[in-house]
Each structure stands twice: as structure tokens, then as C-alpha cells.
Amino acid sequence: MEPLTEHRLVSGPFVYGFLRLVRVSEARQGALIASLAEYCRSHELELSGVFTEREASTGPGSPAFTGLLDVLTLPDVYGVLAPAASHLGPKAIAAERGRRIEAAGSRLLLVRRPHPACPPIGSSTAARRHSPGTTRLLDTES
């Protein structure tokens, strides 16, 4: 009898990480790489490498990002993984880099999803944003 697929060693889908680490400690870098690896483990992805940008760039092109775009042309690459959208750079640069990743036929995956700037009043997030142990009452009547 053949073993189940889950019991066979399979590889992929392949993703590449991207980190923007300007003036970041080695401990923080290690924690961020560990978060990428854990995300991949829990989502059955294979982290093939991590590109790290160490200098604040003034545009979407940098050696690390150019290298990332180069590997996205390899066969069987599923996408790019970053801890948060801020790792792609400031908003305008991040938007352009996101477009370039998608134009290469890859997906942009984020460990932390962007949160809305102002959650709607009455949502559980709005009531708990000041302290996790207390609840603020909003729009109460006397």
C-alpha cells in the first residue's frame, strides 16, 4: 500500500523572504527571520531564502530588491513573504514594489496583515485598543 501524500516528502511552494532592516539589532533580525520560517511552516511553504535591505532606499530599486525580482523568474516560485508591508519601504515605495512583485507573477504574503487606521466605533478592537485588560465604554448614555 502506498503512503498518503501527507507522509511523503514534498517540496514547495517556494517563497522568498524580504526584510528591510535599517539600524536593527542582530536579535531583532533573528526574530524576524524566525517569524518568516514559522509562517512558512504553518502554511506549508518552503522558505528558499531571505533578501535583506540594510540601507534606506529613496526609490523602489535596491540591490536586495533587484535580487528578489531576479529569483521570482525561477520556476516554481510562489511568492514573496515579509513580516509587514512596512518591510517593503515607505508607502509609495512599498506600493511600487508590490506592483513589481505582482507583475513578476508572484504573490505578496504578509505575516502581519495591515490594520485599518481607525476601526469603526463599536467594534471590539476600538473598545480594547487602550489596554487589553480593560474595556472602554464608547457612546454611553447616562
List the one residue out of 106, 66, 115, 48 whose CA is nearest residue 86. Answer: 115
65 closest CA partner among 56, 75, 76, 74: 56
Give pLDDT tens digits for 46-72. 999 999 988 877 677 789 999 999 999
Q: Using one digit for the tens of pLDDT, what is the confidence trace for 106-124?
A: 999 999 876 555 555 554 5
Q: What is the dihedral of CA 66, 79, 116, 24, to 10 degrees?
A: -50
Handedness of CA 50, 55, 60, 61 (dihedral sign): negative
Whole-number pLDDT of residue 67: 94
109/78 Cα distance (integer angstroms): 10
Confidence of residue 138 (pLDDT cuts 50, 70, 90): very low
Q: Is the pTM here over 0.85, yes or no? A: no
Hey, which residues does 107 pair with through a beta bridge? 79
Please report the domains of the chain, with CATH numbers, ordered by start residue. 11-110 (3.40.50.1390)
**Is it the case that residue 2 has pLDDT exceeding 60?**
no
12 — phi, psi (to 5°)?
90, 180
Q: Taking each helix axis as running N to C, give the angle between helix 91-103 and helix 63-71, from 0 to 180 degrees, rounded to the nearest 10.
A: 20
